[in-house]
Amino acid sequence: MNKGHNRMSTPRTLLKSLTLMGTLAGALALGGCAHHPNNAQIGTGVGAVAGGVVGNALFGSTLGTVGGAAAGALIGNQVGSDSDNAGRRGRRR
């Protein structure tokens, strides 16, 4: 057993995670250029990036990063969607 091996902070794992997060952030930024995004779309993007960072910090693996990004995107979308719906109800008065 190699006691000097730290799988949480290997340069290769860090590079993979940073590449994945950068690619995701770039894709979301380019997608946002298409039109004025609603709160659900903004929540999805912010949640995905935040979830990816948290997933990587907690699990230290690519799977943790991707899983965190997916969970964050779902939660962010729901929160943003709720905000959009509340805004629509407020305009009907």
What is the identity of the amino acid at 6?
Answer: N
Distance between CA atoms of residues 64 and 54, nearest Å: 9
Mean pLDDT of 72-91: 85
Burial call 15-50: b when 16+ CB within 10 Å, e when fewer: eebeebbeebeeebeeeeeeeebebbbbbbbbbbbb
Least confident of 23-37, 39-53, 64-78: 23-37
- pTM recorded for the entire structure: 0.60
Q: Where are the alpha helices (DSSP H) in the chain?
A: 11-32, 39-59, 62-91
List pLDDT tens digits, range 3-43. 555 555 678 888 888 888 888 777 777 776 667 778 888 89
List pLDDT tens digits, range 53-64. 999 999 988 899
Pairwise pLDDT comparison (4 vs 66), residue with the higher score: 66
